Each structure stands twice: as C-alpha cells, then as structure tokens.
Amino acid sequence: MRREVLASGEQPVIAAAPKRRIGERELIWMMALLMACNAFGIDAILPALDSLANSFAVAGNDRQFVVGIYLLAGGIGTLIPGAFADRYGRRPVLFVALGCYIALSLACAAVTSFDQLLFLRALQGFFAAGIIALPPAIIRDRVGGDRMARLMSLIFVIFLLVPAVAPSIGQGVLLLFGDWRWIFVSMAVLGALMTTWVYFRLPETLHEEDRQDIEISHIASNMLSAVSLRATIGYTLASSLVFGALFGFINSSQQLIGEAFGAGEMFPLLFAICAGCMAIANWTNSRIVERFGARRVSHTALFLFIGVAGLQYYFAHQPDEDLWTFVPLMAANMSLLGFIGANFGSIAMQPFKHIAGAASSAQSFLRMTTGALLGATVGYAYDGSARPLATALLLAALTSLAFVLYSERGKLFGPPEPDDED
C-alpha cells in the first residue's frame, strides 16, 4: 500500500479512492471514539441503576445485569466481525455494527420490563461487537511491533476519557430529562455521529492481498492460531483476568461507592478520577514504550499491580477501611492497567498481520467473555464491602503473571520489537 508524508510528518492511509485519506492523529481519535461507543454504552447508565431498578422493582445486585449481560454478549459477538472484515473489508462491517448499536439503543429506551431490557442489551452487545473487535485490526493493518503498542496507548488515552466522563453525562441526562431512557437515546446520537465520521473519512485499510475466503475451516484455523500460539496466548489470558477484575469494579462501583462508603453523590467524580488516572498512564506509556519495549514496560507494571492489589486486599480486610483508602489504591491499579492493557494486546496481535481481523476477533472474544464472566462474578459477590473486589484483583494479578511466564518461557523484560510497517 502506497504511503505519502503529510506536511505534519504524519503517515496517511490511502484508500482505493485517491481523494480519501486520513492522517495518523485523526485515525487515532476515530478508533478511540469508536471503541468509546462501547464504553459509553456501559458507563453512562451507571448513575441511573438505582432509578432503573426502581422503575422495574429490581432487587439487590440484579441491577448489575444491565452491564454484565452487555459485556458478555459483546464478548461472544466479537467472534463474528473479524472473519467478515478479513473478506469484505473493515468499513462494511463497521457500518453494520454501528447501525445495530444505534437501533438497539433506541429499542432499549422504549422497553416496558426489565426482562425486555436485558434481552435488548444482550442483542446490543452482540451485534455492536465490531466497534470493539475492528479498531485493533485496522491499526494492525498499518503498523506492528512496539509502534502498534504506542498507537494503541494513544487510542486508550482518548478512549478512557469517555468512561471518565460518561457517568457524569449519564447523571446530567438524568437530571435534565428525569428519565434514564434518555441515556439510551444519547447512545444512539453518539453512534450516529460516529457513523457519519467513518463514512466520510475512513478509507479501507485491508490490503487486497490479505483478503481471506469465507470458509468455516479456514476461519476456524485462523482464529485457533490466534488463541493457541504459546508466544501470545498467555498475554491474551492475562489481560482477560486483570480486566475481568476491573469489570468487577465497574459492575459494583455504584453500590460500593454509594452504599459501602456512603458517597453516592460523589460517584461520577470518583469514577472519573480512577478512569482519568488510567488515561494518563496510557499517555505515558505511549511516550516510553518504543524506547523501552512493550514487554519491559508491561512486565514491570504487572509486578507493581500485584503489590498494589496486595495492599488493597490488606486494607479491605480491615474493619475500618474508608473511601480515602479505597479510591487512591483503586486509582493506582487502574493506572497500572494503562501500562498493561495496550501492551499485552499489541504483543498478542504481533504475529498475525495477514489475519488481523480474525485474530482480533478471536482474542477479543476470549478477553471479553472471560473478563465479563469474571467481572459479573465479582460484582455479584458484592457483600457491602470491598473484600470480594480486592481478593479478585490480587488473584487475577498473580494468575496473569503465571500466564505471561508461560508465554515467555520464564524469561521476562524482553527488548523492544521493531516496527514491521509496509
């Protein structure tokens, strides 16, 4: 694929139609906000869980299913778009995913029962999975090595701004319109804006020579290779576990902060602080990862994560833990996830340049389903304290280290990898 240098020094992607081109900065913003549609679909509804539960007389922790079923269905759904994107291109599959996201958001706003809402949320997560599965494949179409880790880190900086502000937006919509249904309408509006941007600005990034046939055996072989190669499977499983524990925090955060620590009015602000710390960490990672390498940075962060999780476990089991112990430690571990997530994902995608769509789908499926199930389990185990979450964070971190050691054959802190951009 031919490339030119823009005046700013960026590398444009040039599609078959010579007039459509996009610079690196715009591509990063677009991929980040595509993925952020998914995050907004999760986090914007968090402040309204009490109101939603009251509307349908939902008891106890069952309200968390609005989040958990979306995550789980989205994880299952990521198996589908990658194979079609490897055959027909990234753009058509993205449009299908965005269209489903918009339509099902509006359908969620019109439900009359909690069971209907759960059913539609499952469909929304499943059919909109392409907005999560395809951005890594689009980036992998362009670059590899530690440069991919840098770009993914920058994407996560922007992506994480949405979880940081989504609860505040959700609370603002709730205060302005007085009904949680308008939060789903705001999801549809975001989806429509992203569809327009993608239509006019995103070129097709799939190389013609990399198009794959739609054959079940061929697709299955590609996906199996993406989740069975020893050098990468440990990283996929490790990120599944640490983010599963994070999903546990997301599922129970409103109850944990609002009920256990009695700070419900501060929930959007405290959630934003934690997500903001993660965004800052991703920005820092983007500045250092090409110099030190994704392995050195992420392995160091994983050891620190274990240490902080150990402190969380200790304080959670004290009788007098308070909000001002919990929040700084949670923010610290979310910061460390900023040095783990993008790097682990880039390492896992590195060998699969020519089947990036199938690889991204398979790895996203494993990561999201494992994470969603673990997150739902942790969230549903909420007992009025931070103990279940702290235990999950520590066990997930220790098991993740074992998986990384497996992939690296016991040798950590490897050197930087060269970029293999065409």
* The pair of three-digit structure tokens given for residue 238, joined into one six-digit string: 């490790």
pLDDT tens for each residue of 238-265: 988 987 887 888 778 878 888 788 877 7
Picking from 135-139, 150-154, 406-410, which range would have the lowest pLDDT averaged per residue?
150-154
Q: What does the pLDDT read at residue 9?
A: 45
Domain housing 373:
21-205+217-407
Would residue 5 count as lying in a domain? no
- Total number of domains constituting the chain: 1
Would residue 9 count as lying in a domain? no
State yes or no: pLDDT of 417 exceeds 70: no
Would residue 88 count as lying in a domain? yes
Q: How far apart are CA 176 and CA 393, in angstroms?
A: 36
pLDDT tens for each residue of 260-297: 888 777 888 888 888 888 888 888 988 888 888 889 99
Would residue 3 count as lying in a domain? no
User: Strands 21-22 and 13-14, how do they pair?
Assistant: antiparallel
> Which sign does the torsion angle of CA 101, 103, 106, 107 carry?
negative
Would residue 11 count as lying in a domain? no
Q: How far apart are CA 333 and CA 229, in angstroms?
A: 29
How many residues are present in the chain? Answer: 422
CB 125 within 8 A of CB 72: yes
Q: What does the pLDDT read at residue 422?
A: 47
Q: How far apart are CA 266 and CA 258, in angstroms?
A: 8
Would residue 10 count as lying in a domain? no
CATH of the domain at 365: 1.20.1250.20
Would residue 8 count as lying in a domain? no
Q: What does the pLDDT read at residue 393?
A: 92
Picking from 79-93, 208-222, 254-268, 302-316, which range would have the lowest pLDDT averaged per residue?
208-222
Q: What does the pLDDT read at residue 418?
A: 59
Nearest to 422 by CA among 137, 142, 6: 142
CB 161 within 8 A of CB 271: no
